[in-house]
Amino acid sequence: MEGKLIILGSGGSAGTPAIGNWWGNCDPANPKNRRTRPSIAIQTATTLVIVDTGPDFSHQMNREKLGVPDAIIITHDHSDHINGLDELRTLQRLHKRKFPVHMFADTHERLLRRLDYMFEERADGFYPAVCDAIVVQKGAEIRIGDLAMTAFEQDHGTIVSMGLKIGNIGYSTDVKRLDDQAFKILSGIDTWIVDGNGQHRRENPVHASIEEVVEMNEKIGAKKIYLTHLPPLMDHQALLDELLSYIEPAYDGMVLNFKA
């Protein structure tokens, strides 16, 4: 089975430009520096899965001309990954269906506190529930349509996030370090899309530095790495000029093919 992975958003928690039209070190003339909040679409001929629904979710779906997702995966409950979940209410009204939302148990617990109305029916029936929560076990397989992915735990400093192995591609947004199980799952992948938000600051408590990404990949062995979750301080061309030959910055709208 073959499919494609679309980088819906490659930016950090504020996007680029950030509010106030702040571009940081990024050249506004380079369209690859215009970054929305981190998200991907995983698509086959019959299945569409969205990973994370940040504040730019509606814009990202319209920009890529994507249809109705079969399911959503939430990597963790930080605002830049969930604040667009409410957009599913429009699709629910148009298509009269609910959306499975796959996540770890701790993410589910916190999401119910923050967005309870998306999962629970109101007594008066005026606002119907939009999402069905599906709790994913760490290290388990997720099956959606003809897609099979493996979920693994990631240390995001203050909380746990979900990483995914999709065929020969790994996806690790919002990660500081990985455990032995994650390394085992990712071992031998061809391509790794990974959080590089820490840039060259090993002291960043929640995001990996580029040096830490390289060290983790010594255990994984990916032939190609794309850095995501990039803040305004990290210019696309400057990264290309400095990075090792097998590492590149991801950008919004980038498409990768995978086999599973």
Contacts of 161 (CB under 8 A, 6+ apart): 75, 76, 153, 154, 173, 174, 175
pLDDT at residue 101 greater than cutoff 90: yes
Sign of CA dihedral 45, 48, 49, 53: positive
Q: Please give the pLDDT value at position 137.
A: 95
Predicted model pTM: 0.96
Q: Please give the pLDDT value at position 127.
A: 81
Beta bridge partners of 247: 225
Token pair listed for 153: 């735990």
Token pair listed for 166: 């999709």
pLDDT at residue 179 greater than cutoff 80: yes
pLDDT band per the 50, 70, 90 thresholds, residue 126: confident
pLDDT band per the 50, 70, 90 thresholds, residue 260: confident
* Residue type at 130 in one-letter notation: V
pLDDT band per the 50, 70, 90 thresholds, residue 36: very high
* Torsion (CA) 49, 51, 55, 57 in degrees, nearest 10: -20
pLDDT band per the 50, 70, 90 thresholds, residue 62: very high
Q: Please give the pLDDT value at position 67.
A: 94
Q: Please give the pLDDT value at position 172.
A: 98
Q: Please give the pLDDT value at position 218.
A: 97
* Residue type at 106 in one-letter notation: D
Q: How high is the mean pLDDT of the chain?
A: 96
pLDDT band per the 50, 70, 90 thresholds, residue 121: confident
The count of residues in the chain is 260
For residue 141, the tally of other CB atoms under 10 A from its CB is: 11
Q: Are 252 and 193 in contact (CB under 8 A)?
A: no
Q: Please give the pLDDT value at position 228.
A: 98
pLDDT band per the 50, 70, 90 thresholds, residue 231: very high
Mean per-residue pLDDT for 92-105? 96
pLDDT band per the 50, 70, 90 thresholds, residue 14: very high
Contacts of 126 (CB under 8 A, 6+ apart): none
Beta bridge partners of 204: none
Q: Please give the pLDDT value at position 119.
A: 94
Q: Please give the pLDDT value at position 182.
A: 98
| Domains of the chain and any CATH numbers | 2-259 (3.60.15.10)
Alpha helix (H) ranges present in the chain? 57-63, 79-82, 88-95, 105-114, 180-186, 210-220, 236-242
Mean per-residue pLDDT for 170-180? 97
